[in-house]
Amino acid sequence: MTLRRRMLFVAFLAFGVMATSAVFLMQEYFGTVTAQNELRETLDPAAKSARSLVLAQANASRALTDYGLLGTPPSLTRLNDAIARADALAQQVAPQIADIPEIKQLFAAVVTSQANWVTKGVGPVTSAMESGPGKRVRAIILAPETRQAYDKMTQDSQHLISAIENQRDDAAELAQGFTWLLGVVLLIAGISATVLLIGFFLALRRWVLLPLARLQEDLKRATTGPTHEHVIPGIGPPEIAMVALDAESMRRNLVQEIDSARAARQGLHQEAPVVAALTFAHTQAEVIKIPGLNIFGTSKSAEGVMSGDWWDAAVRPDGTLGLVVADVSGHGAAPGVTAVQLRPLMHAGLRAGSSPDQILKVAATILFDSEFFVTALVVVVDQHAGTVSWANAGHEPALIVKADKTASFCEPTGPLLSSLGGQWETLTTDFQPGALFMAFTDGLVESRNEAGATFTTHDLSSFVRGCDAPVRINAEEICQRVLARARERSVDWHRDDVTLLAVSRPL
């Protein structure tokens, strides 16, 4: 995952948490505001009015008793005022609880029971008082029917007060609950912000700071070393890894320029004009482009610009690919001249379509009176049949790594080329898409590290199989990585000529 995607993921995660928390808090907030408004504008006034209504009903009951005992006009006035006060308070409560259905039903019961008390208690008393106070009036006031009507009225009023107060308490608890919830959410938000901040710092350290520090150290080692052989690996997120790979490419170019300058200086001691002409004839490989194959090869000399190693490639008459990798014994100009003699002969054999063993037999005839011997590997890559055929004259066994990372070697099939002659055999193996063929000279695998250990063919196999498939099927990239790895560990890199050739079949 790229660094940009990682940062976007973290940002979207934080935004999602914040948005979810904000929506939840807004819902709770609006619910609390509604409850507080209801409490302030409706329930508190309704509770106050309901309590006043109960008091007014009690005053009306006392005024009725006084009127029944005294029968005076002032007592009648007090009775009428008390009843009017109770009716007014009932009308005051009505709009305050109009939007609360369960309380509205209780209020309707209060209005009904109050009207029933007036009808059964107040009305008969006032009618009886027209003939004056007496036992009949007191009997009406104390009658069970009158007391029941009054009790029903006061009971309904108390139920109304209880319902209003319960509703008010619920609204108050909702507001209090929101305050508690807000505190919890703020605590969680603080903890989450702290965790996210710590996580962001750790991610920044792991994804950015540490890879940059490692890249800085690799750059220092690559630029300050005398031979600049330290490989700069691509580590960290893709953006930083690409910077590292670009730096590694620059390091490779720098090393090549240093090697070229070194070879040029040594070439001055090898009769430069002649050497230049021979080198051009010896090192110019034909540019081969065959659909379904990826080809790359490189050679470097141990002394000057003349090398006893070489590789060559040619398209055979049947469209298959012919390859040669060879190594003349010794170093310097003399082996290079022998290589210049052998190369065109073997190249002609490739272009003529000769089998690998036939090419080796013809090449051996040139060495009948030579003091040098030659190791050579002749290969035919048939991309149509999916095979590799080879004849190996005492050369380092070439490596074949298949798509599933299984490895095999193209072992020698006869003696090395010399004045003694010999017989060689051609062998064939599978070479399917995703496979890599890699041939090399002994200068690669015989280089030694500080402990004296060589870079063996098995070390080479392990390194190649450890590379990802896109790297393995890129012939140039895998060659550059192998050379960088071998050169980085070697303390005697310029001891021998080195040639490396790779052919891959992309998937």
Query: Which tens digit of pLDDT belongs to each residue from 201-226?
Result: 888 888 888 888 888 887 777 777 66
Count how many residues are written for the chain: 507
CA distances from 164 to 36, 39, 106, 295, 427 (A): 14, 10, 10, 91, 102
User: Taking Cα atoms as reference points, which of 47, 112, 58, 48 lies closest to residue 83?
Assistant: 58
pLDDT for 271 equals 52
pLDDT for 41 equals 65
Of 141, 172, 194, which residue constitutes the final position of a domain? 194
Beta pairing partners, 296? 502
Angle in degrees, 0-180, between the axes of helices 333-352 and 356-364, rounded to the nearest 10: 140
Q: In the predicted model, is pLDDT for residue 283 greater than 70?
A: no
| Mean pLDDT estimate for the chain | 82
Q: How far apart are CA 295 and CA 379, in angstroms?
A: 13
Query: pLDDT > 90: what percent of the chain?
Result: 29
Q: How far apart are CA 133 and CA 128, in angstroms?
A: 8
Query: Which tens digit of pLDDT belongs to each residue from 122-139?
Result: 788 777 776 666 666 667
Is 320 part of any domain?
A: yes
Of 165, 194, 223, which residue constitutes the final position of a domain? 194
190 plus 242 within the same structural domain: no
8 plus 112 within the same structural domain: yes
Q: What is the mean pLDDT of residues 349-375?
A: 91
Q: In the predicted model, is pLDDT for residue 16 greater than 90?
A: no
Establish how many alpha carbons lie within 13 A of residue 101's alpha carbon, considering only the half-sphere containing its beta carbon.
Answer: 0
Structure tokens at 36: 């507080």
Domain count, the chain: 2
pLDDT for 467 equals 93
With bands split at pLDDT 50, 70 and 90, how would you rate the model's confidence at 269?
Answer: low
129 plus 14 within the same structural domain: yes
355 plus 485 within the same structural domain: yes
Q: In the predicted model, is pLDDT for residue 40 greater than 90?
A: no
242 plus 182 within the same structural domain: no
Phi/psi of residue 414, nearest 5 degrees: 175, 180
Is 205 part of any domain?
A: no
Q: How far apart are CA 138 and CA 117, in angstroms?
A: 16
DSSP 3-state of 498: strand
Which residue shows structure tokens 């006869």? 414
Is 232 part of any domain?
A: no
Q: How far apart are CA 66 and CA 125, in angstroms?
A: 11
244 plus 179 within the same structural domain: no
Question: HEC states along 76-97?
Answer: HHHHHHHHHHHHHHHHHHHHHC
What pTM does this model have?
A: 0.53
Give the residue numbers spanning the domain of 164. Answer: 3-194
Structure tokens at 302: 């141990």
271 plus 418 within the same structural domain: yes
User: Taking Cα atoms as reference points, which of 399, 397, 379 lies closest to residue 389?
Assistant: 379
Identify the CATH number of the domain in which residue 134 sits.
1.20.120.1730
Long-range contact pairs involving 154-157 (C-beta distance under 8 Å, separation at least 24):
154/54, 154/57, 154/58, 155/113, 156/106, 156/109, 156/110, 156/112, 156/113, 157/50, 157/53, 157/54, 157/57, 157/110, 157/113, 157/114
170 plus 290 within the same structural domain: no
Is 199 part of any domain?
A: no
pLDDT for 306 equals 61
Is 210 part of any domain?
A: no
Of 159, 194, 229, which residue constitutes the final position of a domain? 194
Which residue shows structure tokens 């012939």? 475
Structure tokens at 13: 């995660």
The helix/strand count (H/E) of the chain reads as: 16, 10
